[in-house]
Amino acid sequence: MSDPIDEFSFLADQAADAGIDGPLPRGERLTLTLPDGRTLSALRWTPADATDPGAADPDPSSPVVTFLHGAGLNAHTWDTTVLALGLPALAIDLPGHGDSSWRDDAAYIARVLAPDVAAGIAAWTDRPQVLVGQSLGGLTAAAVAASRPDLVRELVVVDITPGVDPSAGPTQIRRFFAGPTDWASRDELVDRALAFGLGGGTRAKAERGVFFNSRVRPDGRVEWKHHFAHLAAAAVAADATPDAVSAVLDESGWDDLTGTDAAITLIRGSRGYVTPDDATEFARRVPAASVVVIEAGHNIQEDAPQELGAGLRGLAGND
């Protein structure tokens, strides 16, 4: 069942909440059919003042920054960061999330997701990207950079390292998603998010997040869009450990980070999942990388979008 609300209708309120002035960018939903019949979905953002490309090559309105979200999120988590960035951008729904197809094998591991993401970047951009990934998206971005260096100019990993301690935060996310898989209304989901200290700190922000991350079924019940919630609930029902999130934190990520020629920046939240010890280990293993700390939690893109957007604009060479 389709939602009656335009998914871009929240943008003005998001800009006002963040104190971001100026004309809003144009957002559009993109869909790519993958070779096996699954679909990959994304949001493409074009600034209001983007120049008509005409005969220009490359197209000045084509994305220069591509965003990959974390487990249990979707492309809209980057909306306010995109507003602060002010550049053409692409935000991809990872497989199993948002409007992208779920995987039958439930293999939500960076190196498995990377080929799908690379296909989307190749189809929807015309130049190497500043590739930004948060949490699971950060590990996936590293896998893309290592396997498709032609697509990545700069790699930005947001609040994740391959060796992060799963007890530092993912446990809370597993508990949050290990509850019921369907609900009578979105208000029930908002209440649950706020009870877990999630949702951005205000009910209005939680309502936006729940809208983007859920769908109304034909029977009128509301369910999470992403596969992780269903996997976590199934694990609990089977009296097993819901390990869908921590399973992505394997050592292969280090090989991806050291196997790319792209410049690398780690941005960690002061209250995020990457501890000072994790950051020290990252610097030891990837000595050429830069490490930046932002006053924020794990979801830096929602806690400090203006600071993150300004930093990314500098990396994209537009400051």
Known active-site residue 167: no
Known active-site residue 298: yes
85 contact partners, CB below 8 Å, separation of at least 6:
65, 309, 312, 313, 316
Task: Give the pLDDT confidence score for residue 168 in this predicted structure.
Answer: 55
Known active-site residue 226: no
Are 118 and 148 in contact by the 8 Å Cβ rule? The answer is yes
| Beta strand spans in the chain (E) | 26-33, 39-46, 65-68, 89-93, 129-134, 152-158, 182-183, 214-216, 222-224, 263-269, 290-294
Task: Give the pLDDT confidence score for residue 248 in this predicted structure.
Answer: 46
Splitting the chain (319 residues) into consecutive groups of 10 residues, what average pLDDT does each group show?
72 93 94 98 93 60 95 94 97 96 92 97 98 96 98 97 69 68 88 78 84 89 84 61 47 92 97 94 96 95 96 85
Task: Give the pLDDT confidence score for residue 23 in this predicted structure.
Answer: 92
Which of 101, 135, 214, 246 is an active site residue? 135
Task: Give the pLDDT confidence score for residue 22 in this predicted structure.
Answer: 85
DSSP state of 102: P
What tokens does 127 get?
């130049």
The whole-model pTM stands at 0.89
Cα 199 to Cα 302: distance, rounded to the nearest angstrom: 9
Which of 93, 159, 256, 278 is an active site residue? 159
For 190-196, the CB contacts below 8 A with 24+ separation are: 196/172
Cα dihedral 198, 40, 66, 201, rounded to 10, equals -10
Cα 259 to Cα 251: distance, rounded to the nearest angstrom: 13
Task: Give the pLDDT confidence score for residue 172 in this predicted structure.
Answer: 62
Q: Mind listing the domains of the chain with CATH numbers?
A: 11-164+252-315 (3.40.50.1820)
Residue 23: helix, strand or coil by DSSP?
coil
